[in-house]
Structure 1
Amino acid sequence: MVGAYLQHIAKEVNFLVVDCSSSYNAIIGRPTLKNWKAVTSTYHLSVKFPTEYRVGQVQGDQLAARVCYLAMLAIDEHIQMMNIKERRTIAEPTEVLEDVPLDEGDHEKFTKIGTSMEEETKQDIIQFLRKSIDVFAWSHEDMSGNDPNVITHCLNVYPSSKPIRQKKRVFAHKRDKAIKEEVQKLITTEFIREVYYPDWLANMVIVKKANDK
């Protein structure tokens, strides 16, 4: 039950119990907030939701919230200093995988399947994968012609907001070359298009992939 008497809602929620130190009793996720039809305000530490008797509200305490925040930072300062590479975890396969070529004329086009299945099932899966080779992509060129109605990335910003210009960064020759190559691939396949602004806005951000490229 959430809220005060009359202006409250009663819902069943499944919680994931985690064995770790925390200053919080519970963390409410987006599915639950959506189910409550709740509107949150981090600035005001407030959650409002519709009830049968007008609008219900749960109000947080600014002092308690700050104490919890500082306590979380003090649990392990080392975690706060970990970089992206240190935090990256690669899941190990649960069985030995076998390379399966999908195009007999191009050995670069292959995928991996498990070896623990029965031979008949294995052959059925291989035949299905080869028939569905058009859904695989090994390069940017293999993904040309994507319909924007399927997926499009947009920046959710207010048109009236003034852009904040970052200080222009100069990259090393190796990184500058990598940026130009990747941008050219995206332009060639029409994933992105060139636009012109009167002012410099933001720098490129480079992140290493799991294969160290």
Structure 2
Amino acid sequence: MDEISFMAKEQEKVLTPHHDALVISLTVANCLVKRILVDNGSSGNIIFLAAYKDLGLEESALTRRITPLIGFSGEVKQTAGEVNLPVYAEGIKMSTKFLIVDCDSSYNMILGRPWIHGVGAIPSTLHQMVKFPTSWDIKVIRADQEYSRSCYQTTLRERPRSYSNYRASLRLITPRNQRQTRRKFAPERDAIINDEVKSLLGVGFIREVQYPEWLANVVVVKKKNGKWRVSIDFTDLNKSCPKDPFPLPHIDKLVDSTVGHPLMSFMDTFSGYNQILMHPKTRRKHPS
């Protein structure tokens, strides 16, 4: 197999200097599709719903499978389904699975790592081309910088409004001090709380501080094994803090990540937690 390399002379037709993304055109489902972003930072191949309809494909042909896509800032977008489409690249046909996303985009498709690895391609944004091996020789797909810059400008025109809304939402987050009214407990639970506090004080896990503005009661809950758990009621504190939802990984990814490892730890699963010591100067600022 020939070696894939990039030469300085291959930049002669590239508009330099540049920071352009790699935007190409390919034949997909027997149609020439332009504005395809090659992104090795994407874990999936994406086709936007508007482009899917423009190909003349029916929504009934796609598989209704919902997959959460997570952006770099943590936002989550649910897919509308998935579909397998033939992608032709320099005489090579490859059946490619696309995730369908219903949202506005300056691109028609995004070819991520599944397609890049599937054809053994090596993209170079510097040289504005994609190279991949075949049984005969090394094939080259040249990018279109004009389309790349057009997509970038379109994205910039669409972004300011959403960014200003995001900044406004940040300014609206003004946590108010929360001071819960002191709760009274039955003598039995008072004894449980006192024993727990003495135990934690004795090992230096907690210390006495004064929070005149943020006060929360303790909560005593009986566990299945008959023991009692003493916790803190952070209900009001949670209401005052901005939410940062982060979806848990799929179980199949968790299982796959254990393959090849001789040991698996369940240390945190049963009856306790591993605690990380905080810096002494910041301990009094932490609510728990």
Decide: shared fold, TM above 0.5. Answer: no
- In our comparison, the structure showing a higher alpha carbon Rg is 2
Greater RCO, CA 8 A, separation 6+:
2
TM range (shorter): 0.3 to 0.5
Q: TM-score, normalised by structure 1?
A: 0.41
